[in-house]
Amino acid sequence: MIKYVKGDATSPQGDGKKVIAHICNDIGAWGAGFVLALSKKWMQPENVYRSLYKLGLVLGDIQIATVAQDIVVINMIAQSGIYTKLNDKNLPPIRYDALERCLEKVNQYCIDYNATLHAPRFGAGLAGGDWNEIEKIINSTMSVPVIIYDFN
């Protein structure tokens, strides 16, 4: 189900409609990780994130930003805060249950618009997640082709 490729997730490969998905936090912090590459290429995902932040971000929600005729970026709100020492266990900010809810919505969007999903290894960087767990969630929620990009 998941295809791994070398490349830049902001330049999705292949024909047809494409959805680029990534994880965002719920506190309005946009400025590190993959979002920097997104903002360098397109301002719409950041603008949507910041405008909807004013209304309140809820874990498990998604935000949709059209960036080209055949490309949509989906901000998945699946990170609670940012990586700090939250307690003695130093828990990462990713919320797997929220990611699952997000991916269910992303999958439905991809089905409705006949799109493929393209993404970096979301949640395994600044969100502190375990890629093996994230991969299981992708496999259990997604029914469309998923292409994961490992940046060169």
Pairing of strands 115-119, 146-150: parallel
The pLDDT, as a whole number, for residue 81 is: 87
pTM score, whole prediction: 0.94
Residue 152 is predicted with a pLDDT of 78
Q: What residues contact residue 87 under an 8 Å CB cut-off, 6+ apart?
A: none
d(Cα 106, Cα 7) in Å, to the nearest integer?
A: 22
Give pLDDT tens digits for 56-94: 889 999 999 999 999 999 999 999 988 765 544 568 899
What is the rounded average pLDDT of the residues 33-48?
A: 97
Confidence band, pLDDT 50/70/90 cuts, at residue 55: confident
Residue-wise pLDDT for 106-150, tens only, equals: 999 999 999 999 999 999 998 999 999 999 999 999 999 999 999
Q: What is the pLDDT of residue 50?
A: 95
The number of angstroms, rounded, from the C-alpha of 74 to the middle of its chain's C-alpha atoms is 6
Domains, the chain: 2-150 (3.40.220.10)
Predicted confidence at residue 1, as pLDDT, reads 80
Strand partners, 18: 71, 116
